[in-house]
Amino acid sequence: MRLLDYDEPIDPEIAAVLDAIDATLSGEPVDAQYADTAEIALLLSAERPAVGPEFAQSIDERVARRFAPAPASVPVGPRRRWWSSQFWEATGALAAAIGLIVAIVVIAGSGQGSPSMSSASSAAGSGAGSSGAPSGPPTRSSSKAQPALVPPNGSSATPTLQPPTTGRKVVQSAQLDLAAAPSRMDDVAQQVYNVIGALGGIVENSTVTQTGGPAGYADFQLSVPSASLGQAMSRLSSLNYAQVVSRTDSSQDITDQYGAAQRSLADARALRTSLLKQLASAITTEQVASLQAQIHDAEASISSDQATLNRLNHQVGFSQLSVEINARSAPAPAVHGSGGFGIGQAAHDAGRVLTVAAGVVLIALAVLSPLALLAALAWWVGSTVRRRRREQALDAA
């Protein structure tokens, strides 16, 4: 039903007719020009059906409720706009809070970098060739390494040491001590075989003792191509279920020794050639016998010098590698610093606690935010529908 707009002025003639009708029904006299209107009003009033008191009272109450002025404190129009604006303001504040928490977690996570693992490895210089006795012991190119931990996946291998060998004859060797759990001795030993086989090496001697306890032990004497020694050490230092306890790299320059063997072989061959020429021109039996004995000695020297060169070439081409595996538990990681509880440690722990707390809050918001938004949207839609229905009911009345 369309509501009357009381702000619009009523036509004066219509207002006079209405006043005449009201006066006639009230028993008051009216002007002569409205006599016809008064007569019609009296006839209609006499023919109207009687209304029961209860029905009349209910009609009066409904009319009073319908046309009662709205409370000044709760205006209808502004209230609707107020709830709509509050809803979107609450939604924006919730989204901003989620973004702020995500930013805090990202900043805290970037500041808490993963602790770096530092492995102490002594860099050693290459063994330079000396003019002294070439048969001396090998020169250690690296001292005993500090006990280092290698993750089972081999993501952090011990750096490989490679002495310069350009134009020189260098014999390289290495020793690697590993630790493995007693139940993993067989697994680690098999990995050693697999690595050496893949690199074309030779297992000269091996001993594997599996006791299931700390007495387990394995020893390998290996020979690998010198060009693959660095790769072999890298792979063996990254075996699964094994940890590097110590590592030793050795090198010996045998360039002078190799040159001396070459010169000795050349001299022996030259001597044999000269003796053969002398034997061809020998006349007496004594000369022939003496030359033949000297030729025999020269050939023996040639054989010895050739064997020496072959052995040196093999030492240069194939490096000796010793691997020992002991069954023991993993050593505890070293704790750096003085061990006391200071401001730095407290700040680190506080940052960690805040990061974890922010992560928990973020996860909770990620779970609850969609539900809260859906609940707020459902409440807003429900309240809007209820208000619209109430207004329609009042309009129908």
Is 50 exceeded by the pLDDT of residue 348?
A: yes
Nearest to 239 by CA among 156, 174, 175: 156
DSSP β-bridge partners for residue 179: 243, 326
The residue that leads in pLDDT, 109 or 138, is 109
The percent of the chain in helix, strand and coil, each rounded to the nearest 5, is 55, 15, 30
pLDDT at 307: 92
- pLDDT class of 155 with cuts at 50, 70, 90: very low
Detail the DSSP E strand segments found in the chain. Answer: 139-140, 170-180, 202-209, 217-225, 242-253, 318-327
pLDDT at 2: 46
- The two structure tokens encoding residue 169: 């004859």
Is 90 exceeded by the pLDDT of residue 231?
A: no
User: From residue 344, how far is each of 340, 348, 359 by CA, in Å?
Assistant: 10, 6, 22
- Mean of the pLDDT values across residues 332-361? 69
Domain boundaries, the chain: 1-48, 53-66+77-111+347-397, 148-327
pTM for this predicted structure: 0.41
Nearest to 175 by CA among 221, 117, 207: 221
pLDDT single digits (tens) 281-307 = 888 888 888 888 998 998 999 999 899
Residue 130 makes CB contacts below 8 A (sequence gap 6+) with 253, 256
d(CA 175, CA 193): 16
- Mean of the pLDDT values across residues 52-68? 79
The residue that leads in pLDDT, 265 or 7, is 265
pLDDT single digits (tens) 33-51 = 888 888 888 788 777 777 7
pLDDT at 242: 87
DSSP β-bridge partners for residue 177: 246, 324
| 29-33, 89-93, 386-390: least confident range | 89-93
Is 60 exceeded by the pLDDT of residue 248?
A: yes
| 142-151, 153-162, 221-230, 292-301: least confident range | 142-151
- pLDDT class of 198 with cuts at 50, 70, 90: very high
d(CA 150, CA 155): 8
d(CA 305, CA 271): 14
Is 50 exceeded by the pLDDT of residue 333?
A: no
Q: What 3 state SS string does 213-260 have? A: CCCCEEEEEEEEEHHHHHHHHHHHCCCCCEEEEEEEEEEEECHHHHHH
d(CA 185, CA 218): 8
- pLDDT class of 356 with cuts at 50, 70, 90: confident
Is 70 exceeded by the pLDDT of residue 359?
A: yes
Is 80 exceeded by the pLDDT of residue 70?
A: no
d(CA 110, CA 162): 37
Nearest to 1 by CA among 62, 52, 88: 62
| 34-38, 149-153, 370-374: least confident range | 149-153
- Looking at residue 182, what DSSP letter applies? G
Q: Report the mean per-residue pLDDT for the chain.
A: 74
- Mean of the pLDDT values across residues 357-363? 81
- pLDDT class of 397 with cuts at 50, 70, 90: low
The residue that leads in pLDDT, 101 or 195, is 195
pLDDT at 323: 92
Place of tokens 């990620």: 366
Q: Percent of the chain beyond pLDDT 90?
A: 8
d(CA 248, CA 250): 7
| 230-234, 274-278, 317-321, 340-344: least confident range | 340-344
Is 90 exceeded by the pLDDT of residue 221?
A: yes
- Mean of the pLDDT values across residues 134-142? 42
Is 80 exceeded by the pLDDT of residue 76?
A: no
